[in-house]
Copies of this chain bind each other. A is one copy, B any other.
Amino acid sequence: MVNSLDNNPPHQVVIVGGGFGGLYAAKTLAKAAVKVTLIDKRNFHLFQPLLYQVATGALSPADISSPLRSVLSKSKNTKVLLGEVNNIDPEAKQVIVGDEAIAYDTLIVATGAKHSYFGKDNWEEFAPGLKTVEDAIEMRSRIFSAFEAAEKETDPEKRRAWLTFVIVGGGPTGVELAGAIAELANQTLKEDFRNIDTSEAKILLLEGLDRILPPFAPELSQEAEASLTRLGVVVQTKTLVTNIEDDVVTLKQGDEVKEIAAKTVLWAAGVKASAMGKVLAERTGAECDRAGRIIVEPDLSIKGHPNIFVVGDLANFSHQNGKPLPGVAPVAKQEGEYVAALVQNRLAGKNLPPFAYTDHGSLAMIGHNSAVVDLGFIKLKGFVAWLFWLVIHIYFLIEFDNKLVVMIQWAWNYFTRNRGARLITGKETLTEFVISDRKNYSADNKQPINV
């Protein structure tokens, strides 16, 4: 039970994870009569909804990242710790970071999710996902070096494979990636190559269900598919991926099995709980769902541990409508803010009703000036949806200079149809990188890069 306010050592809140869940919990506690310690293994908060723009060269990582210390520097009750929580001791009320034990009165775990390859972890090296800055930079390298490799390739079949891009997963991330790569091929890079016509690139978007953007209203899924098709993307629903190798993807549509020769495969299909999920479950006896997420109580706490809360993608909250809330930023944000408010209320001897998510809608950008926005009572599409999408994303970017830089960069990209951030970084020389098997990183004795 959370202690009522007294004159003794102030209530210590430890937050693990500086994403939408953890950071908004910390911000909500900024002026509370508690001490807050935020622990993250990175020194910045990442605006994940725009990661696909880093992966397709439109923005830089720093444009969508905010140093945690900077965001929280004015919160004098808040300390930021760069570290990774290895273990939790619920009896002693401590988290273990390296060889240091940090005591808590309230613990908020917000470590998010990571990619899931549905058990086929060996697919990871052939199909990077998009959860971290390094993921985005790896994707970016692969996308742009595919065009470079095609430019040098004399064998027409191999060139076609270099110009074939497969995106697995028809949710917002996959849809936004597919649209962005189509624009790269058809507009941005069109004048830049001499041996290839980049608009001959084939972009496939694969979705296992019967329509893309499953959380959206059906007419918007249809609109999105039509927009993507106009952009040149081939959308294939009811399609499952059964194997991924270095240059071929195997699909299953109904009873039919197909092989696609593709050198670039991008993963936007499955997520599972971060490693903390397992640690939490073992230490607290909490139940997990099939994706490893912690099943939480109506107040987002763990059953039997009213002072340990889980928010964001790591939590499975099904009390509102019978199925778990989706792993999206607004859910994490509201959950983090709720738990922070709850802690303050309880310290003052009060309580709050159970958590209730306010769904303001979903949005996905399709391409240059088209999007779909599902606000429930209103559905937008096309240009007005696209403007709405821009405004919402700018609004939620945390630092003002990020807002300004992203606005400028987007205005520029829009008017010039160009993309300002399409570096291939991470290797000093790319010759072997693009020509041979991508896993052969031995050129110049450079180690494999995961950046």
Contacts and interface: CB of A to CB of B under 8 A. Distances in A.
Interface of A: 41-44, 60-63, 65, 67, 69-70, 73-74, 79-84, 97-98, 100, 132-134, 137, 144-145, 148, 151-152, 189, 191-194, 399-402, 404-405, 408-409, 412-413, 416, 418, 420-426, 428-432, 434-435, 446-451
Leading 4 A-B pairs by shortest Cβ distance: A69-B192, A62-B421, A60-B60, A401-B412
For this chain, the copies found in one complex come to 2
B409 A405 contact: yes
Given A60-B61, A60-B62, A447-B447, A43 B401 contact: no
Contact of A420 (B83, B401, B423): B401
Contact of A423 (B133, B423, B432): B133
Contacts of A60: 60-63, 421
Nearest to A402: B420
Nearest to A82: B148
Given A82-B152, A82-B434, A134 B409 contact: no
Contacts of A409: 401, 405
Nearest to A451: B451
A451 B426 contact: yes
A425 B67 CA distance: 12
A448 B447 CA distance: 7
B451 A43 contact: no
Given A73-B191, A399-B420, A401-B420, 13 more contacts: A41-B428, A43-B423, A43-B430, A60-B61, A60-B421, A61-B423, A62-B423, A67-B423, A133-B425, A134-B428, A401-B412, A404-B412, A425-B451
B418 A401 contact: yes
Contact of A43 (B63, B70, B148, B450): B148
B416 A401 contact: yes
A229 to B, nearest CB: 28
A216 B69 CA distance: 39
A306 B189 CA distance: 36
Contacts of A61: 60, 423, 425
B133 A62 contact: no
A192 B43 CA distance: 11
Contacts of A448: 447
